[in-house]
Chain A
Amino acid sequence: MSTSSDSRLLDRRGFLRLGAGVLATASAAFQWGCNLTTRACKVVPPNPFVAAGKPLLVVVEGEDMGAMLRKGIEALGGLEPLAKLGREAIFRGNYVASQPYPVTTAPEFVLAVAAELKRAGLSKTSLFDSHGTRLGAGILPEHILRRLGVLDKLTQGGVPVLARDFADPNEFVFVQNPAWPIAKPVAVSRLLHEAPIVVSLPVVKRHAGPKFTCALKMHFGSVAMADRMLVHAKDNECQSGLMHQRLVHFADAVRPQLNVVDARAILARNGPALGAGAEVVKGVNKIILSGDMVAVDSYCARLMAQRDDTFTIDMIAPQLKHAASLGLGKADLDAVKVVEIRA
């Protein structure tokens, strides 16, 4: 470069380079900043399934899954209140391992609920799951669903599967509720955050660290792997209370409008997968429906305690209490209208 050009503050080429650099930096910083911006948790309308001011919890006992579902929905007052919220619903199943029901949500159950929602006026239902990443050839987001045959069965049954990468920052939004005692956001799935209707389809299981998995704990699968990892690394054995609190915050970030628990069989003694002493208890033959996920967990914990002598409801009392304090539902079943029927 010549001396004269050296003396100039900035020549044309330098200006263009600088401009391009500044533009690129600003764009990248803007995008990064947007991704890291913390939003409020999604606002959902009040529980539409109530009776005399109390949340409804319908328990159907029987042998025929389809008949049980229909009877349960009827007792709930129908699914039309959901159809008023939107035309599409997203299901959240539990697909933590490549093992069939009751470790994971049965595809037949998903299809049966999807059929009921379509009957109520919804035009589309999809299943969301996030238990894998494209960063490993053997752990792709759909690998568990594919191995279980859920992917094929649901796709053929007209329920598309939305398998998302649990490590991809683009798939998540940061949300936070000022009422949380832990002032840290949660990276919840963008799809679930933006979905007008989320229907949760839990299974009832023991869980090694958190002791119990049902409507609340299953939302570990709704948040980024980074969030799950931090909680497991810090308090896997539920010693400090972080696990109890955080799993409630994860559920708060999703707030499904309806929970339909497939408790025809449950996984007792250990979990969340078979092995290490876990055993499948068949013949429970119940389906539980409610818009109140705390009441669902409170009821299902009792079901578990009746069939697993290593479990007591006290083990999950802190999470139920915390969830109730955040307004996620009622932990005290006296404050819930429990309807028990046979199909």
Chain B
Amino acid sequence: MKRVVQAFLAPLWAFLFPAKVSDGGTQQRRYPLLLWPLAGLGFSALGWIAGGFLGSWAPRTACAVGATAIALGWLNRQPRAALLAAVSAAIVSLAAVRIGESYFSPLLAWPVAALVIGVVGAFAFRRRRARIAFIVGAPFLGSAGFVAGMLATLLIAMKLNDPRLSAQILLGGAVGFGLLLMAGAAIVGRWLDATRAAGEMS
């Protein structure tokens, strides 16, 4: 029975926590899959909170999306790309917030910033299909994560009847954004990026 369970869990464990990957004959330490969404969650939340130092929705959004981009670049070991993505996402999100204040909603900044992160972050992948998948998927993942994060915070706050938690609905959205976007990046990298997939198999 123990063997059956181990046989069932081993591939899942290897997928989630690959300790080392052989890449072109060199040994390279790889981050566990779960680290990606956790880093996205943490960086985005910290960015959102830190943005509160600078003002209201615009700096909060810019800092949260910028921090998510930094997390992505950091885990991809591409500091320059991280900086580029962070600055681009922050600038574009600031512009989107300003435009959104006049037309529809500043929340438009989230899918727009996710698209920017998707475009810059796609260069971390080696195969075209992975790049396209990430560019196309990023705005959807970012938006879905933002909405899911807000809803989850709202539901928990209502369940606990806690105004401190319900005041942080948009922080929940930012957390969901970082979490799902980074989870998407990790899964695309693991499944669609051929070099890495091959590395994992070896």
Contacts and interface: CB of A to CB of B under 8 A. Distances in A.
A53 to B, nearest CB: 37
Contacts of B56: 134, 165, 168, 170
B158 interface: yes
A137 B56 CA distance: 15
Interface stretch (B112-120, B135-143, B159-167, B192-200): B159-167
Interface string B14-33: 00000000000000000000
A225 B125 CA distance: 43
A224 B56 CA distance: 15
Interface in B96-141: 100-107
A140 B57 CA distance: 13
Interface string A268-300: 000000000000000000000000000000000
Interface string B170-191: 1000000000000000000000
B157 A226 contact: yes
Contacts of A38: 164
A311 interface: no
A135 interface: yes
Contacts of B101: 134, 137, 140
B53 A27 contact: yes
A325 to B, nearest CB: 21
B41 interface: no
Interface string A167-194: 1111010100000000011110000000
Contact of A168 (B46, B49, B57, B164): B57
B168 interface: yes
Interface string A204-243: 0000000000000000000010110110011000000000
B46 A226 contact: no
Given A134-B101, A169-B168, A227 B53 contact: no
B167 A137 contact: no
B164 A24 contact: no
Given A134-B57, A135-B106, A230 B158 contact: yes
Interface residues of B, number: 27
B167 A187 contact: yes
Interface string A134-146: 1111001000000
A15 interface: no
Given A135-B107, A137-B100, A35 B163 contact: no
Contacts of A155: none
Given A28-B50, A230-B161, A135 B169 contact: no
A169 B157 contact: no
Interface residues of A, number: 33
A155 B149 CA distance: 40
Contacts of A36: 164
A186 B104 contact: no
Contacts of A24: 46, 50
A185 B170 contact: no
Contacts of A227: 163, 166-167
Contact of B163 (A134, A137, A226): A226
Interface in A24-38: 24-25, 27-29, 31-32, 35-36, 38
B13 to A, nearest CB: 25
A227 B46 CA distance: 24
Contact of B46 (A28, A135, A170, A229): A28
A27 B53 CA distance: 9
Interface in A150-169: 165, 167-169
B52 A174 contact: no
A332 B155 CA distance: 40
A140 B56 CA distance: 14
Contact of A224 (B46, B100, B163): B163
Nearest to B55: A170
The 7 closest A-B pairs by CB, nearest first: A226-B166, A28-B49, A28-B50, A226-B167, A32-B49, A227-B163, A28-B46
Given A31-B49, A31-B52, A136-B104, 15 more contacts: A24-B46, A31-B53, A134-B101, A134-B106, A137-B105, A167-B170, A168-B56, A170-B56, A184-B162, A185-B163, A186-B163, A226-B166, A226-B169, A227-B163, A230-B158
6 contacts: A134-B101, A135-B105, A165-B56, A185-B164, A224-B167, A230-B161
